[in-house]
């Protein structure tokens, strides 16, 4: 069974050396000094390593079971959930008035990483609950907040999100679920929702379903969608539980992975629900949660990759096979460890350089969310909105690639379930699909985010990269292998943006045909920026003589690898984009 250890040193490096969080002017950040965050992250790492990771393969092999209409979770999940609750890990960033710890979102993100790496399927029960908490916090009435938030913060009750229906996923305008107003101010919800993660289980007293539905007579399409709170068990105003609501599990899906999480078909048969926020403004309510939810999925992508990488690294150091081409590295043994072989190294360096870059990007994104929510900083809000599809789409594509690459290090054993490597790939696969399939992320980026604020936000991002390059071109570390590749990649990205501007108006397909490539290009440029900033921070630490020299030197070398071997991808993506819509759209539908 693969073991997992939270990469505390690297997490601390990102929070303090790179992001310098205590120096940021965001309420709540001043107290997040190195010792404070280390204490929290080390405890989280222990829970991940000792409680959650050992249940990862159990969850995969047992899966959830539907028994008499009730979902049973795998052995050990209930006890583990109690441990997580008791440790206060469900409410890191929940308000203190609702029983939370009131810490910034960046700490929720950092704590979440080891939990997701150790057991993604398990973590989703609390992840969806966090989403429901955020939605009710943003849109609930005072009474709804008082009733639900403390229970969701503690995970005494858990939450779900109900969007998709059998005939509509991305295109929610086709939705059929109905919400009929009742005299007492409640609604009767009727319809079927599918792909409901954590839809039912045996680990909490109640489940708060947030359900998108249409109130009859409202506007057509997405403008007529409202959001409802539909509890599994009805309750009074104090939360005292009563009768079962008319909501039931129609089916438990058999999936490629995340078997430990219950993915349900939910049937609403005149279930009682209450409006959350305004009528017909359900889509807007969903959108307010979207940056966080999509960032959370991006984190899942690289966190699965990180866990798979740790396993592959251990195997590469242990497994003896062949000899180094430069002469035996383990002359006493029958063969050398795999890690001596350049192609295995390439594979490990791909994973390592990606995971560390992705961590930096995700935590940075979390600080932007904090700046937006805690300081009301509109620029941070705009920037994180621009980056969100990149974090979701690029990090999950690459995270799955990492998990697949890690399998490859194991050779045939990577394909055998008992070694655990297949699970990482199977689990990671969903991150490219849910919370908006990655093609939709690319569409969001190119079709919506580039043009947001009249293009000011993306121009600001380009400017940020340019300024960084200009200001650091004399830096001895950065001038060797960082600044030039970043400038070149950024230039490619801007050229692609220019191509869209020049062609997108008269040929919208020209922009859309290149959207996926643009998302990946922007991913590389963003990670390139992260790496350049990390190398600078590492060089400063080396200069100051603080901390572990080996760590900082490895950081710089890993960054050089990413710049040398991954940034050249932008040339390929630009060439594809500049080939335009014609090759993509040339065939008539019948010609396929």
Least distance from a second copy to the Cβ atom of residue 246, Å: 25
Please list the residues that pair with 252 across neighbouring strands: 264
Per the CB < 8 A criterion, the answer to whether 344 and 337 are in contact is: no
37 vs 164, beta carbon nearer a second copy: 164
Give CA–CA dist 392/366, Å, rounded: 13
Q: Does residue 292 have an active-site annotation? A: no
Q: Which helix (H) or strand (E) holds 397?
A: helix 378-409
Supply φ then ψ for residue 160, to 5 degrees: -140, 165
Give CA–CA dist 45/173, Å, rounded: 42
Least distance from a second copy to the Cβ atom of residue 198, Å: 15
Least distance from a second copy to the Cβ atom of residue 491, Å: 15
37 vs 490, beta carbon nearer a second copy: 490
Question: Quick one: which of 352, 453, 342 has its CA closest to 402?
Answer: 352
- Whole-number Cα distances in Å, 450 to 194, 396, 413, 456, 572: 32, 21, 44, 9, 21
Least distance from a second copy to the Cβ atom of residue 138, Å: 25
Least distance from a second copy to the Cβ atom of residue 494, Å: 18
Side-chain-side CA neighbours of residue 380 (13 Å): 17
Give CA–CA dist 193/212, Å, rounded: 9
Q: Token pair for residue 440?
A: 């939709």
Least distance from a second copy to the Cβ atom of residue 65, Å: 16
Place of tokens 């194991």: 410
Query: Three-class SS of residue 159?
Result: strand
Least distance from a second copy to the Cβ atom of residue 104, Å: 31
Catalytic: which of 435, 476, 484, 589? 435
498 vs 575, beta carbon nearer a second copy: 575
232 vs 576, beta carbon nearer a second copy: 576
366 vs 443, beta carbon nearer a second copy: 443
459 vs 554, beta carbon nearer a second copy: 554
Least distance from a second copy to the Cβ atom of residue 89, Å: 27
Give CA–CA dist 125/158, Å, rounded: 7
Q: Token pair for residue 11?
A: 């997490």
Spell out the long-range contacts of 82-85 with Cβ–Cβ below 8 A and sequence spacing 24 or more.
Answer: 83/47, 83/51, 84/47, 84/51, 84/52, 84/115, 84/126, 84/155, 85/154, 85/155, 85/156
Supply φ then ψ for residue 155, to 5 degrees: 60, 20
Which positions ≥6 away from 152 have C-beta within 8 Å? 94, 129, 130, 132, 133, 136, 158, 159, 208
51 vs 266, beta carbon nearer a second copy: 266
85 vs 345, beta carbon nearer a second copy: 345
Sequence length of the chain is 592
146 vs 584, beta carbon nearer a second copy: 584
Least distance from a second copy to the Cβ atom of residue 160, Å: 15
Which positions ≥6 away from 369 have C-beta within 8 Å? 105, 106, 291, 292, 295, 380, 384
Query: Three-class SS of residue 70?
Result: strand
Q: Which residues are catalytic?
A: 435
């Amino acid at each position: 069974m693969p073991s997992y250890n939270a990469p505390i040193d690297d997490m601390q490096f990102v929070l303090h050396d790179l992001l310098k969080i205590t120096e940021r002017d965001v309420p709540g950040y001043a107290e997040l000094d190195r010792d404070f965050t280390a204490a929290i992250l080390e405890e989280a790492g222990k829970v991940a390593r000792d409680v959650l990771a050992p249940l990862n393969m159990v969850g995969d092999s047992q899966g959830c079971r539907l028994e008499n209409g009730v979902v049973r979770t795998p052995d050990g999940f209930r006890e583990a959930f109690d441990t997580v609750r008791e440790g206060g890990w469900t409410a890191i960033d929940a308000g203190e008035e609702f029983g939370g710890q009131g810490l910034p979102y960046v700490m929720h993100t950092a704590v979440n990483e080891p939990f997701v790496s150790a057991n993604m399927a398990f973590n989703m029960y609390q992840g969806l609950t966090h989403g429901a908490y955020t939605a009710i916090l943003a849109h609930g009435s005072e009474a709804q907040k008082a009733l639900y938030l403390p229970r969701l913060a503690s995970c005494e009750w858990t939450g779900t999100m109900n969007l998709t229906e059998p005939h509509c996923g991305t295109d929610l305008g086709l939705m059929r679920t109905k919400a009929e107003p009742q005299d007492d101010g409640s609604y009767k919800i009727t319809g079927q929702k599918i792909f409901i993660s954590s839809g039912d289980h045996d680990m909490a007293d109640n489940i708060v379903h947030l359900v998108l539905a249409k109130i009859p007579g409202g506007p057509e399409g997405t403008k007529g969608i409202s959001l409802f709170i539909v509890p599994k068990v009805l309750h009074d105003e104090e939360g005292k539980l009563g009768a079962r609501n008319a909501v039931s599990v129609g089916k438990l899906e058999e999936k490629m992975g995340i078997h430990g999480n219950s993915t349900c078909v939910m049937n609403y048969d005149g279930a009682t629900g209450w409006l959350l926020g305004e009528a017909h403004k359900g889509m807007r309510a969903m959108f307010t949660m979207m940056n966080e939810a999509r960032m959370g999925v991006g984190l899942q992508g690289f966190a699965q990759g990180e866990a798979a990488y740790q396993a592959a690294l251990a195997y590469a150091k242990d497994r003896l096979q062949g000899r180094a081409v430069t002469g035996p590295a383990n002359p006493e043994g029958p063969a050398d460890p795999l890690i001596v072989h350049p192609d295995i190294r390439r594979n490990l360096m791909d994973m390592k350089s990606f995971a560390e870059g992705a961590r930096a990007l995700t935590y940075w994104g979390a600080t932007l969310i904090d700046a937006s929510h805690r300081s009301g900083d509109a620029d941070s809000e705009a920037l994180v909105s621009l980056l969100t599809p990149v974090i979701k789409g690029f990090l999950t594509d690459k995270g799955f690639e990492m998990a697949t690459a890690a399998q490859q290090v194991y050779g045939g054993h990577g394909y055998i379930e008992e070694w655990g490597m297949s699970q990482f790939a199977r689990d990671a696969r969903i991150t490219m699909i849910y919370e908006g399939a990655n093609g939709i992320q690319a569409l969001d980026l190119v079709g919506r985010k580039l043009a947001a604020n009249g293009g000011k936000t993306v121009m600001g991002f380009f400017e940020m990269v340019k300024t960084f390059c200009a200001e650091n071109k004399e830096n001895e570390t950065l001038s060797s292998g960082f600044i030039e590749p970043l400038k070149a990649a950024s230039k490619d990205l801007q050229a692609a943006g220019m191509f869209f501007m020049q062609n997108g108006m008269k040929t919208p397909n020209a922009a859309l045909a290149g959207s996926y490539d643009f998302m990946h290009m922007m991913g590389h440029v963003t990670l390139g920026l992260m790496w350049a900033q990390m190398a600078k921070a590492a060089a400063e630490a080396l200069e100051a003589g603080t901390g572990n020299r080996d760590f900082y030197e490895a950081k710089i070398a890993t960054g050089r690898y990413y710049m040398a071997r991954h940034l050249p991808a932008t040339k390929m993506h630009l060439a594809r984009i500049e080939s335009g819509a014609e090759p993509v759209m040339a065939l008539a539908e019948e010609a396929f």
